[in-house]
């Protein structure tokens, strides 16, 4: 089953990087990825002000670029928000929605995240829908319930055709930026559950949807995580800020 799904490795720069450093990083990633890319898709999600820079430096390369969030609205009086259509003007492919930092710090509900995913799809972008449990939720044995609620809100709002185009990123909150990675078995268990839930909607869609793992992925643990049957690549935070480390993760996804 996993052979049908090319692995997808996407960097999430978060609020890091300035224009000068970005130029070096983007150029190095584009150059390195072209040699590695066979069978793997590669992307970087940059802060909004650098979308034009990413477009300029990555156009024509194998690396696609993305945005880290989009508004749940198509446009209008929403000061500070960025519409998916605006990102599309800069050739963006991916839009991360529902990252745990946004769910936690901006109180984004599953329904709001679902609307964001829908706006992204309507603008022609591929939403990377992040789901994941906190340490307390895992310890309380509610991981599947939490992820179920986050995922179902998205599946409910999308048509089947739209649902087939999403990427899901399983990011246990306790593993993000902490250096504590889920074991490959822990990741596989949740990924298989996510796929089974999508299959509850439609088995064909479930077979197509990529499920990335995110949370302290680095070159040293990527190959083991990516070898699991339901792990279709990774969403990479800290390790995407160094070209060499990020490219080593891309290489691990190539198998």
List of residues contacting ligand PGA (CB under 6 A): 12, 171, 176-177, 214-217, 235-239
Nearer to ligand PGA by Cβ, of 44 and 198: the residue is 44
Q: Minimal distance in Å, beta carbon 204 to ligand PGA?
A: 28
**Got the DSSP string for 2-34?**
GGGS-EEEEEE--S---HHHHHHHHHHHHHHHH
**Other CB atoms within 10 Å distance of the CB of residue 20:** 8
Residue number with the smallest Cβ distance to ligand PGA: 237
The smaller minimum CB distance to ligand PGA, of residues 159 and 178, is found at: 178
What amino acid positions are annotated as catalytic residues? 99, 171
39: left (phi over 0), alpha (psi -120 to 50) or beta: left
Q: Taking a C-beta distance cutoff of 8 angstroms, is the pair 130, 117 a contact?
A: no
Nearer to ligand PGA (CB atom), residue 172 or residue 205: 172
How far is residue 212 from each of residues 25, 39, 83, 140, 221, measured CA to CA in Å?
23, 15, 24, 24, 14
C-beta closer to ligand PGA: residue 11 or 205: 11
Least spacing, CB of residue 243 vs ligand PGA, in Å: 15
CB of 3 vs ligand PGA, minimal distance in Å: 26
**Least Å distance between CB 215 and ligand PGA?**
5
């Amino acid at each position: 089953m996993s052979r049908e799904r090319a692995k997808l490795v996407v960097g999430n720069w978060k609020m890091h990087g300035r224009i000068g450093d970005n130029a070096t990083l983007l150029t190095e990633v584009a150059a390195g990825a072209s040699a590695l890319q066979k069978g793997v898709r590669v992307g970087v999600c940059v802060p909004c002000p650098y979308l034009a820079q990413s477009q300029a430096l990555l156009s024509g390369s194998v690396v696609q670029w993305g945005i880290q969030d989009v508004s749940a609205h198509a446009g209008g009086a929403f000061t500070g928000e960025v519409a998916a259509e605006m990102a599309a003007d800069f050739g963006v492919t991916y839009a991360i929605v529902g990252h745990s930092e946004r769910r936690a710090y901006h109180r984004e509900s599953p329904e709001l995240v679902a609307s964001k995913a829908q706006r992204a799809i309507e603008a022609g972008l591929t939403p990377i829908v992040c789901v994941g449990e906190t340490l307390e939720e895992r310890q309380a044995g509610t991981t599947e319930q939490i992820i179920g609620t986050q995922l179902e809100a998205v599946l409910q709002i999308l048509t089947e055709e739209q649902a087939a185009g999403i990427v899901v990123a399983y990011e246990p909150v306790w593993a993000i930026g902490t250096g504590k990675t889920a074991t490959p078995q822990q990741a596989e268990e949740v990924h298989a559950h996510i796929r089974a839930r999508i299959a509850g909607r439609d088995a064909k869609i479930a077979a197509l949807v990529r499920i990335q793992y995110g949370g302290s992925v680095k070159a040293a643990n990527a190959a083991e995580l990516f070898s699991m049957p339901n792990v279709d690549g990774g969403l990479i935070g800290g390790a995407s800020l160094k070209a060499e480390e990020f490219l080593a993760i891309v290489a691990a996804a190539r198998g």
